[in-house]
Structure 1
Amino acid sequence: MDHSAAAQRRIKAIQAHLISSVDSASQLCHNLTAGEFVYEQGYSVVLPERLHTGKWNVYRSAHSPLKLVSRFTEHPKIATLHDNFVHAVNTFRDNRYLGTRVRGDGTVGEYKWMTYGEAGNARTALGSGLIYHGIPKLLSYLAEIPTVHLVVVVGGMDDQIPSLPSSTGVQVVTHTKLLSQGCSNLQPFSPPNPDDVATICYTSGTTGTPKGAVLTHANLIANVAGGTVATKCSPSDVYISYLPLAHIYERANQVMVVYFGASVGFYQGDSMKLMDDLAALRPTVFCSVPRLYNRIYASITNAVKTSGVLKERLFNAAYNSKKQALLSGKNPSPIWDKLVFNKIRDKLGGRVRLMVSGASPLSPDVMDFLKICFGGRVSEGYGMTETSCLISAVDEGDNLSGHVGSPSPACEIKLVDVPEMNYTSDDQPYPRGEICVRGPIVFKGYYKDEAQTKEVIDEGGWLHTGDIGLWLPGGRLKIIDRKKNIFKLAQGEYIAPEKIENVYAKCKFVAQCFVYGDSLNSSLVAIVSVDQDVLKAWAASEGIKYKDLGQLCNDPRTKAAVLADMDAIGREAQLRGFEFVKAVTLVHEPFTLENGLVTPTFKIKRPQAKQYFAKAISDMYAQLVIADDSSPRTKL
């Protein structure tokens, strides 16, 4: 039997009946063993969701087009987080694992390290110590007797721990004593199964109450396995951990670090001292969020502008030369790194080879800036708690900015029409719609909330993300809108505030920005948390005197200067007329976790921000009404 001829006949049959959009049969590839077909699109491949519909709308990674990744290819027996850690302890026992700078007395010094072997021993001792105190037995009764029976004090001294009356039934022990008790009473492991719950990870809560996403060991292993198909680390890599460990972005990064046997150094707990931690640790891998990258961008560009004419010209020449070389696929001259960019790289320790951005969109300008100034690979990813983290990421060698790459090998993606927003898969030149995800990375549901689970996971197993995307050439995904975080102005224009906030984030005065509007008003207003250093420098240059930052923020001249700079940035980004804010309120306090205005990944909590700044928003609209009533155009 001629298998080649049979395969060609099947290709022609499929092409004739299913895909009218495919221009060339050469793009349709067959797999002789599986007998399946895909349509190549560069970084992605496209498959039909159902053969009888004739619609090729399901995108997968070109790295694994015919089977979704659920385990690490090199170590398929790693099925749980327990397996992953045991593998790391056995393989990298003497390698550095956990590093901290903060000493027991609160002072800060050089990083001190715990090896994988030491961490493995501590884990065994800790678990055995808990069993020694009867924790497994107590857990079985917690539903009936929700009472604490054991308090473990980390960092305390045994002779300083108070004892509680025996009648309370509560024991208080130090962490050190618990480890000692565990070492003296070692117990065997009770490993989890892949489908067991690994964590209940709460969503950021940007639009309401946070929801508990139930994630299994299999979910997390599949996600990290998919993400590491194309992005590899090694035991020599050093990762800095400063993002909240309660967030899925950092949790997945930690699983990845363990798998590769890399080292992770924790920042000292103060984000204002992060640059000092970076200089001490000298990481090779740096994962962050756009807020910090925007601050780095603004800090460097502002320093260049105030460095003098010659230094500014040298920087611009180096920047433009390196940018042109990267865009044309050539190696830039090393002279520019020696003269200009190595000094900038030193700000992050001088060794960073991989920078990753996630949690919210990164401006293409900032992405290009990071690639040019810091060298190495800069990637942007897209994901969410409900998918155990990563959904898509920019592939290595892809120099196009402004998108979030191709699907992770551990999932498949399709776009679903959103007719009320005029987004359809038939849109030209690019298909558009709500991003839906399916695969082993999708969570099991929201904790004790079946109703909301059914709202996001349909009968076909597709998770509806609420994000609007389009497919760029090459099978790259671009996020363009959000179903939930949009509103209409009085004239009916749809507003996506996060997109506008990302534009204004490049304004030199802006540290953080909250854009607000509603259907009762015809324009947007904004609350701006100012960059204090930039504002003080500007006031000095203008000869403006002030008692404190509050007075400076309320000065009409300051507001006018900030609004003018925001307008210039908006025009540069080609915002539409109704997307420009018409009034600003300046505040010197940042949006923080403590005041409840941002999530752990620094996304603005919109309902909370609206309530927090209600008076300022009302005052701005009142002022706009007065200004509009007094304008000559209104009087005419």
Structure 2
Amino acid sequence: MPPSFKPPYAVKSTDPGAVAKEGETLPMRHFKFADKLLDHPPNVYTMWDLYLHGNKIGGDTPFLGTRKMNNGVAGEYVWRSHREVRKSIEDYGRGLVSLGLGRQKSIGIYSVNRPEWTMTEQACYRQGFIIVALYDTLGAEAIDYIVNQTDMEFIIASADKLSNITRLKESLPSIKTVIVMDGDNLKKADKEAATDAGLAVHTFQEVEKMGESVEEETEMPKPEDIATICYTSGTTGVPKGAVITQANCVASVYGAAAVGDVGSFASVDHTDVYISYLPLAHVFERVAQGLHVYRGAAIGYYQGDTAKLLDDITVLKPTVFCSVPRLFNRIYDKVLAGVKAKGGLSSFLFHRAFNAKKANLENTVHHWLWDRLVFGQIRQKLGGRLRFILSGSAPVSPDVMDFMRICFSARVFEGYGQTENMCGGCLTIEDDNTSGVVGAPFPCSEIKLVDVPDMEYRSTDKPYPRGEICIRGYSIMREYYKVPEKTAEAIDEDGWLHTGDIGMFDSANRVMIIDRLKNIFKLSQGEYIAPEKIEGVYQKHELVAQAFVYGDSKQSSLVGVIVPDNDAYVPWLKSNFPKVSKEQSYDSPEVKKELLKVLNAYGKESDLKGFEQIRAIHLTGEEFTVENDLLTPTFKLKREIARKVYNSQIDELYAVLSNGRNFN
């Protein structure tokens, strides 16, 4: 790092009126702690140190909780204390060592979020094992690649994954041992098949028991140890493994805690309750959960089914909720559709209350009357106790951000980061309810913008600098595992990670995400299109659950694939086309024409330019999901996959437009 970079903070501008240009870092003067160094810089800590800190705070209070199942019906949450869990973690870690897992050797974790995932993670931090998360949507070919590339011998998995591992064993010769998290669900036939395939199968409890009698202490972890190799769920080619050290992890987790301590971000403490449902295979949830572990808070896990998530939230009543725009968009649609359906006095009161709070949003998210009279019932949908909400993974619409603040009377923050920088990009600032910004850099990072001439974004743009966001700091990955040429493409000689996102520094030097370098395409008339922005607009309409916008560079118009939101679409269809069933409507030119009129009118109201409006649509009742490989595990649309899946429909839409029979 250059001498001016004083860890763990970015350079602070000495000129109060300065703006960052290419080659300069973003000033952090609006951070209250800009001149204050942390007492303990990240490079002297490991993730195990942070865990011990949280364990000491938590003591005998609840730590990890799951819902008790009675005849398949989920009941109340059952908890294990911090003290109880620590003993299990330490015994389990020693048990893994006794089985032959060596320091800085990889171990796969193959499961949805559950307590054993977190316990394995902490045991790996203590023993210096390398965590490599596996998940179904990687596909068999990608899992083969990851397991073989990392020379993986151990996998810990939920019981339902054992048969998958057994089937893959033939192409995964390195795998020797599988540890089943939920031994009670282990089927005898699955275990026998795995054993016949040459796999040693143990349960989590058995490994924990093995460690109880081990007295010899192993070497303590080091900051430079590899903590995890996190493989990105790319849409093309083999996945790349971001090598993240323990110091990288600490930088992001400790950074999030530090901004909470000084009041620039929400503070988390031992009284907080967190709902864990975003995939632990990805860094957003790892950092969010790591913050709560460090603070000695309680973590409740969802049942493993996102369709039941709101029920889990109702029972758990979390105080902190981290999620992604896709879910916030759904809540937005449902609430507004419900208000519209009620009509009359209820609708009048809602809009009056909404507008009154919005007018004062710069000052507060609360209102002494409307919070009780109008928004109390809505607030209960997320348990009724939320102190703050954090959105990450993808940009969220300003309208939706305002909606969440108003309806849930909670502070709503937005974060920005990537796998390659352990989520340590930006966070919005406490009491700043400006929508459309992602705030200021993490205290472990500095940011600059680099010119993108082809897209006419320059750091010299007036009134605000624009360009590709580049990040440098303690949370940046060490490398892509065993692919130095890819590392060189991502991280330049001076240590700057090139994110591929287009940003702007606004009048307060906050970062705004305005485009995506890789997802931008050009229409035949030369107009650049940012599909995510357009999809975000359409998906706010009550009739739309999901949208995929596509443009061919040889064509002058956009087309789209629309998944209707059944709650609003079915009544709309019945009102406008009473003789057409939902299934028939997907192929009805008349229905598509009318729906497109509605969406284009909405797009115009939302300031979409003419060339940004879709001109023909394909309707489908099949949602984009992680399971059908149209979404990444963090719910981002896989554009290349979607293009292949809907290739024939897209070609047909363009054929219709070429013949002059568009749906307008």
TM normalised by structure 2 equals 0.82
Q: Shift in Å at residue 241 of structure 1?
A: 1.0
What does residue range 559-598 of structure 1 map to in structure 2 within 5 Å? 559-598=592-631
Q: Does 1:393 align with 2:422?
A: no
C-alpha contact (below 8 Å) 2:471/2:496 kept by paired residues: yes
Alpha-carbon separation, structure 2, partners of 1:265 and 1:567 = 42
What does residue range 306-317 of structure 1 map to in structure 2 within 5 Å? 306-317=341-352
Report what 1:16 is aligned to: none
C-alpha contact (below 8 Å) 1:510/1:529 kept by paired residues: yes
SS at match of 1:136: coil
Report Cα offsets for 1:543-594 as digits up to 9, x if no partner: 52345x4322222233123212221221122111111000111111110111
Report what 2:382 is aligned to: 348
Report what 2:166 is aligned to: none
Report Cα offsets for 1:172-195 as digits up to 9, x if no partner: 333222222222334424322111
Report what 2:229 is aligned to: 200
SS at match of 2:27: strand
Q: Does 1:39 align with 2:7?
A: no
Report what 2:138 is aligned to: none
Report what 1:216 is aligned to: 245
Structure 1, 118-127 or 105-114: larger mean CA deviation: 105-114
Aligned length: 586
Q: Shift in Å at residue 66 of structure 1?
A: 5.7
Q: Does 1:384 align with 2:352?
A: no
Report what 2:86 is aligned to: 120
Alpha-carbon separation, structure 1, partners of 2:554 and 2:334 = 38
For residue 93 of structure 1, the aligned residue among 50, 59, 78 is 59
Report what 2:285 is aligned to: 250
Q: Shift in Å at residue 171 of structure 1?
A: 3.5
Q: Does 1:521 align with 2:548?
A: no
- Alpha-carbon distance change, 66 to 277 in structure 1, aligned in 2, over 3 angstroms: same
Report what 2:569 is aligned to: 535
C-alpha contact (below 8 Å) 1:248/1:385 kept by paired residues: yes
Report Cα offsets for 1:355-394 as digits up to 9, x if no partner: 1111111111111111111112111111111111031111
SS at match of 2:223: coil
Alpha-carbon separation, structure 2, partners of 1:467 and 1:82 = 33
- Alpha-carbon distance change, 156 to 543 in structure 1, aligned in 2, over 3 angstroms: same
**One-letter amino acid of the counterpart of residue 630, structure 2:** L
Q: Shift in Å at residue 313 of structure 1?
A: 0.6
Alpha-carbon separation, structure 2, partners of 1:441 and 1:166 = 41
Q: Does 1:59 align with 2:27?
A: yes
Report what 1:20 is aligned to: none
SS at match of 1:59: coil
Alpha-carbon separation, structure 1, partners of 2:195 and 2:346 = 72
C-alpha contact (below 8 Å) 2:42/2:251 kept by paired residues: no
Alpha-carbon separation, structure 1, partners of 2:619 and 2:423 = 34
Alpha-carbon separation, structure 1, partners of 2:210 and 2:25 = 58
C-alpha contact (below 8 Å) 2:365/2:410 kept by paired residues: no
Report Cα offsets for 1:44-91 as digits up to 9, x if no partner: x86799xxxxx7554346345468x7xx64797971111112222233
Q: Shift in Å at residue 137 of structure 1?
A: 9.5
Q: Does 1:229 align with 2:274?
A: no
C-alpha contact (below 8 Å) 2:426/2:440 kept by paired residues: yes
Q: Which has the larger Rg?
A: 1
Alpha-carbon separation, structure 2, partners of 1:392 and 1:574 = 27
Q: Shift in Å at residue 160 of structure 1?
A: 5.2
For residue 433 of structure 1, the aligned residue among 451, 459, 467 is 467
- Alpha-carbon distance change, 135 to 351 in structure 1, aligned in 2, over 3 angstroms: same
Report what 1:19 is aligned to: none
SS at match of 2:59: coil
Report Cα offsets for 1:147-185 as digits up to 9, x if no partner: 444332333369958679999875433322222222233
C-alpha contact (below 8 Å) 1:46/1:58 kept by paired residues: yes
SS at match of 1:326: coil
SS at match of 1:585: strand
Alpha-carbon separation, structure 1, partners of 2:458 and 2:523 = 23
TM normalised by structure 1 equals 0.86
Q: Shift in Å at residue 528 of structure 1?
A: 1.0
What does residue range 268-283 of structure 1 map to in structure 2 within 5 Å? 268-283=303-318
C-alpha contact (below 8 Å) 1:94/1:116 kept by paired residues: yes
Structure 1, 204-213 or 190-199: larger mean CA deviation: 204-213
C-alpha contact (below 8 Å) 2:656/2:662 kept by paired residues: no
**One-letter amino acid of the counterpart of residue 195, structure 1:** E
Q: Does 1:156 align with 2:199?
A: no
Alpha-carbon separation, structure 1, partners of 2:105 and 2:398 = 50
Report Cα offsets for 1:91-128 as digits up to 9, x if no partner: 32212111111549754211111211121111112122
C-alpha contact (below 8 Å) 2:45/2:247 kept by paired residues: yes
For residue 101 of structure 2, the aligned residue among 120, 123, 135 is 135
C-alpha contact (below 8 Å) 2:279/2:633 kept by paired residues: yes
Alpha-carbon separation, structure 2, partners of 1:220 and 1:60 = 22
For residue 295 of structure 2, the aligned residue among 236, 242, 260 is 260
**One-letter amino acid of the counterpart of residue 177, structure 2:** L
- Alpha-carbon distance change, 536 to 248 in structure 1, aligned in 2, over 3 angstroms: same
C-alpha contact (below 8 Å) 1:59/1:407 kept by paired residues: no
Alpha-carbon separation, structure 1, partners of 2:633 and 2:471 = 24
**One-letter amino acid of the counterpart of residue 356, structure 1:** L
Alpha-carbon separation, structure 2, partners of 1:316 and 1:629 = 36
- Alpha-carbon distance change, 564 to 234 in structure 1, aligned in 2, over 3 angstroms: same
SS at match of 2:412: strand
How much is the aligned-residue C-alpha RMSD, in angstroms? 3.1
Report what 1:361 is aligned to: 395
C-alpha contact (below 8 Å) 1:150/1:170 kept by paired residues: yes
- Alpha-carbon distance change, 73 to 285 in structure 1, aligned in 2, over 3 angstroms: farther
Q: Shift in Å at residue 512 of structure 1?
A: 1.0
Report what 1:454 is aligned to: 488
Q: Shift in Å at residue 539 of structure 1?
A: 2.1
Report what 1:179 is aligned to: 208
Q: Shift in Å at residue 212 of structure 1?
A: 1.1
What does residue range 276-315 of structure 1 map to in structure 2 within 5 Å? 276-315=311-350
Alpha-carbon separation, structure 2, partners of 1:138 and 1:294 = 41
C-alpha contact (below 8 Å) 1:85/1:259 kept by paired residues: yes
- Alpha-carbon distance change, 102 to 73 in structure 1, aligned in 2, over 3 angstroms: farther
Alpha-carbon separation, structure 1, partners of 2:66 and 2:102 = 31
SS at match of 2:660: helix
Alpha-carbon separation, structure 2, partners of 1:430 and 1:48 = 10
C-alpha contact (below 8 Å) 2:194/2:201 kept by paired residues: no
Structure 1, 203-212 or 435-444: larger mean CA deviation: 203-212
**One-letter amino acid of the counterpart of residue 101, structure 1:** R
What does residue range 416-495 of structure 1 map to in structure 2 within 5 Å? 416-495=450-529
Alpha-carbon separation, structure 1, partners of 2:567 and 2:192 = 50
Structure 1, 329-338 or 240-249: larger mean CA deviation: 329-338
Alpha-carbon separation, structure 1, partners of 2:352 and 2:549 = 36
C-alpha contact (below 8 Å) 1:287/1:355 kept by paired residues: yes
SS at match of 1:459: coil
What does residue range 19-30 of structure 1 map to in structure 2 within 5 Å? none
C-alpha contact (below 8 Å) 2:25/2:448 kept by paired residues: yes
Alpha-carbon separation, structure 2, partners of 1:147 and 1:207 = 26
Structure 2 residues without counterparts, runs of 5 or longer: 1-5, 107-147, 154-172, 260-264
SS at match of 2:502: strand
